[in-house]
Structure 1
Amino acid sequence: MKLYLDPGHGGSDPGAQGNGMDEKNINLDIARRIRDILASDYRNINVRMSRTDDSTKNLSHRTNEANTWGADYYLSIHCNSFNGNAQGYEDFIHSSLSGSSTTARYQDIIHAEVTEVNQLRNRGQKQANFHVLRETTMSALLTENGFIDNAHDADLIKDASWRQTVAQGHVIGLAKAFNLAEKEDDGTLYKVIAGSFQSKENAEDRVDALQSQGIESFASAVTIEGEQWYRVQAGAFSGRENAETRLAAVHDAGIDDAYIMQD
């Protein structure tokens, strides 16, 4: 299955803004998490992203790229804004489609999974004449993951663990819609270790630095040769290839001493 994953906006186009956040950054973070979960947990899925960094890309370029590549599905990730009072989650397919279409069936499945976990008001399944829904030759869905200018939604959007949960909801929906096969798990985990510190504060500083680069991480206390240390972990994967991809991202973020630990 070939998924074209489109984090909306980017570069010179910040998208919606509110509560100290730009939509483009949230969209990219959620999309990266969707990509990483799919790569880690599922077989026979090829993900191509419209952008993997804060770059400018017009709508025609995105849809032309997806069409030329021959994607099986187009998923566009967004956040919303209005007047500060509106809140919740909604998703869209093209306005020309019937409720019995294949695209509508995919929407039914993904909508149910995302709304099950996102803690947002359910604004429903909708239709619109958006470019990415109209100009794609494959089934397409655009999700609006909360209102960035609403205080309630923004508190959730700011939370990295919430964004991970929302990404997981999208993935479960995709897996059910396209009958994706999970990778066999032999119990081995490949953990990306991004530093060990005797100071908890230093470990938390490393976590903050990684998360500012869009790399989810956490610090945990471990005992090494009888002494307590705080180890920073930037991901755990069942496949070594995925761990190496994450390790490369950590190195690119300036953490030269990161390594993979097999557990």
Structure 2
Amino acid sequence: MAKKLVLSYGHGADTANKAHSKFVMNKGKMYEEHTFNAKVGVKTKKIVEAHGITVLEVQPPNGSDVPLRTRTNKANSWGADLYYSIHANAGASSAKGVCAFYWSTSKSGKKLAELYAKFAKEAGLPLYHNGSYASVKGTWNDFHELRETAMTAVLTENGFMTNSEDFKRIFENAGNFHDVIAEIHAKVILSFFGVKYDPDKSGVKPTISKPSKPATSKPTEKPKKDIHRVKVDGKQVGAFGDEKNVIDAVEKALKGGAKKVNVEEV
């Protein structure tokens, strides 16, 4: 029986203009999250299909945004074995790294998220929140794609668009990141299906990036904590020194229907 995978690329090519979110500005130019998600998703699709996996894209690459309910309904009715969502993150400028979310009660989802973190660490990528994160009902990370899917599901956040180092990987393909992360996704997916990964079938040549060395300070100096101001639709909702509080405020605003969210360093 064919192994059935659903690939969901975060958002759509029209999301930035319609929702005024899911993008970052850099030197006056707009960089949209979906552009990266689709590019990596297509690479991932090519690799897993070469290994005999049947793939359904519930969000066309570079197409108009498909509502999440439509995506999960389609996956459920198709009888998919695995739902795999590809995203890029946003938050405080100091926040960086990759991670995978899984539904808190899903043992298979947790196993895949931890495997994603393992492969990412082996590739020299920085991890956010140790690389795996439980999605819990009623919290800021109560993600529809993980809650409403009838099969094992994982939602990956492949770096922070708002971090200077991650930005280079996401939008400038530093360290051949697009191939590196696509290979990681493929390995996770193939592991789920019990299929051995064959690098000769991948069509990519990943460059293993070395982890960046942490900044060091003199023993007598205390690390300086950045303060970031969060503005929602032009109004300040708080100023935080803890990056988790910044991320929580941004997620809460977006979940509440905010049209514009800005994070500024004080």
Q: Same fold (TM over 0.5)?
A: yes
Counterparts of 1:1-263 in structure 2, within 5 Å, are 1-14=3-16, 16-18=22-24, 19=26, 20-40=30-50, 42-43=51-52, 45-50=53-58, 51-95=60-104, 97=105, 101-117=107-123, 119-124=125-130, 125-128=132-135, 129-160=142-173, 161-181=176-196
RMSD: 2.4
CA distance in 2, matches of 1:145, 1:47: 21
Cα deviation for residue 138 of structure 1 reads: 0.2
Range moving further from structure 2, 147-156 or 115-124: 115-124
Report deviation, 1:180. Answer: 1.3
Q: Kindly indicate whether the alpha-carbon contact (under 8 Å) linking 2:120 and 2:127 is maintained by their aligned counterparts in 1.
A: no
Q: Distance in 2 between matches of 1:184 and 1:167?
A: 12
* Count of residue pairs the alignment pairs up: 183
Deviation at 1:173, TM superposition (A): 1.7
Asked if the contact 1:25–1:54 (Cα under 8 Å) also holds between the matched residues in 2, the reply is no
Give the Cα–Cα distance (whole angstroms) in 2 for the partners of residues 59 and 146 of structure 1: 22
Is the CA contact 1:8–1:76 (under 8 Å) kept in the aligned structure 2? yes
1:164 and 1:183, CA in 2 relative to 1: closer, same or farther beyond 3 A? closer
* 1:101-151 Cα shifts (integer Å, max 9, x gaps): 222222222331133226223422111220000000001000000000111
* Contact map agreement 2:15 2:22 (CA 8 A) in 1: no
The alignment's TM-score, normalised by the length of structure 2, stands at 0.63
| Alpha-carbon distance change, 64 to 184 in structure 1, aligned in 2, over 3 angstroms | same
Percent sequence identity over matched residues?
A: 30
Partner letter of residue 12 of structure 1? Answer: D
Task: Find the aligned partners of 2:196 and 2:92 in 1 and give their Cα distance.
Answer: 42
Question: Are residues 113 and 141 of structure 1, via their aligned partners in 2, closer, same or farther at CA, if it must alter by over 3 Å?
Answer: same
Aligned letter for 1:37? I
Residues 16 and 148 of structure 1 are in contact (CA less than 8 Å); yes or no, is this contact kept in structure 2? no
Q: Using the alignment, how far apart are the partners of 1:118 and 1:171 within structure 2?
A: 17
Structure number with greater Rg is 1
- Structure 1 residue 84 displacement after superposition: 1.9
CA 118–145 in structure 1, closer or farther in 2 if over 3 Å, else same: farther
Structure 2 unaligned regions, length at least 5: 136-141, 206-266
Gaps of 5+ in 1: 192-215, 217-263
Against the structure 1 CA distance between its residues 117 and 61, is the aligned structure 2 distance closer, same or farther, given a 3 Å change threshold?
same
